């Protein structure tokens, strides 16, 4: 069963739009393009893309707002393309719902590598009925239940709307419990690499993990001081908070 993967390129610069379109086509995507933010939001709603590349400097709506609007209806993997290497832009982009970012000018090979790493990450398996004896790895912690198979997280009877990146980070902590995961470990996890290969992780990639964790904490309604799920280990990384006695 091969489902066509859909890509959406939101970019007002024609040359860059064409470049990105070609890269995604070569990676096997059915690619659509939009040259304004509002057209991009509409296309995202209609096409339900797997991957979106989003230029931050668009003529009508800025890319941050475009990301926020897309996130209301989409769990697409959003790669922000920023014209400046300013860290603030990058972090704001991730806070607005982006998963990853690249600074222009970027190498097509780099973009393709990011997209392919993302596509190797597991997706929801709701469309494939698993055999009854094939257990869905489901985990529960302090009232939160997470199913790795269907990629859902439920708290107080409500399903949380997590991005793929947020879900993967949550799952990583649940899997290792009280063992501290460094930011570099988690960044590698997002690239779908083994933890111990020691591949290069930049400061910006570690900061990105912090931003995603901050977004996840907000969605969980978790507290920094008395966490139920995400415990920050200062200067190192994160681990799962200890279980609390329910009363």
Binding site for Ca ion (CB under 5 A): 12, 55, 57
Q: What is the CA radius of gyration of the chain?
A: 18
C-alpha closest to that of 233 among 178, 157, 194 = 178
Nearer of residues 16 and 213 to Ca ion, judged by Cβ: 16
**Residue 147 gets which letter from DSSP?**
E
Q: Name the minimum Å distance from CB 56 to Ca ion.
A: 7
Residue 27 and residue 53 in contact, taking contact as beta carbons nearer than 8 Å: no
Q: Name the minimum Å distance from CB 59 to Ca ion.
A: 8
Q: Name the minimum Å distance from CB 16 to Ca ion.
A: 8
The angle, 0 to 180 degrees and rounded to 10, between the axes of the packed helices 183-190 and 164-176 is 130
Nearer of residues 83 and 124 to Ca ion, judged by Cβ: 83
Greatest C-alpha distance within the chain: 61
Nearer of residues 7 and 40 to Ca ion, judged by Cβ: 40
Q: Please provide the size of the chain in residues.
A: 247
Nearer of residues 12 and 65 to Ca ion, judged by Cβ: 12
Q: How far is CA 42 from CA 9, 36, 64, 132, in A?
A: 12, 10, 16, 39
Q: Name the minimum Å distance from CB 89 to Ca ion.
A: 13
Return the residue nearest Ca ion (CB atom).
57
Residue in the block written with tokens 């400046």:
84
Nearer of residues 12 and 95 to Ca ion, judged by Cβ: 12
Distance CA 21, CA 27 (A): 10
């Amino acid at each position: 069963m091969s489902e066509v993967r859909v890509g959406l390129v939101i970019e007002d610069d024609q040359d860059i739009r064409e470049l990105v379109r070609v890269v995604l086509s070569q990676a096997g995507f059915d690619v659509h393009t939009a040259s304004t933010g509002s057209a991009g939001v509409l296309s995202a709603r209609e096409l339900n893309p797997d991957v979106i590349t989003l230029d931050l400097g668009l003529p009508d709506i800025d890319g941050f707002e475009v990301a926020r609007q897309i996130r209301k209806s989409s769990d697409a993997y959003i790669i922000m393309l920023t014209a400046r290497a300013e860290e603030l832009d990058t972090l704001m982009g991730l806070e607005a719902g982006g998963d990853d970012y690249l600074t222009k000018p970027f190498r097509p090979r780099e973009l393709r590598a990011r997209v392919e790493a993302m596509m190797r990450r597991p997706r929801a398996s709701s469309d494939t009925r698993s055999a009854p004896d094939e257990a869905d790895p489901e985990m529960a912690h302090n009232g939160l239940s997470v199913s790795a198979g269907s990629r859902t997280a439920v708290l107080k009877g409500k399903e949380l709307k997590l991005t793929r990146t947020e879900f993967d980070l949550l799952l990583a902590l649940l899997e290792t419990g009280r063992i501290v995961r460094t930011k570099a470990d988690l960044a590698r996890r997002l690239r779908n690499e083994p933890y111990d290969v020691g591949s290069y992780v930049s400061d910006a990639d570690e900061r990105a993990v912090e931003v995603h964790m901050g977004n996840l904490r907000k969605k969980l309604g978790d507290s920094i001081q008395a966490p139920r799920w995400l415990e920050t280990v200062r200067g190192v990384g994160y681990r799962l908070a200890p279980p609390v006695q329910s009363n």
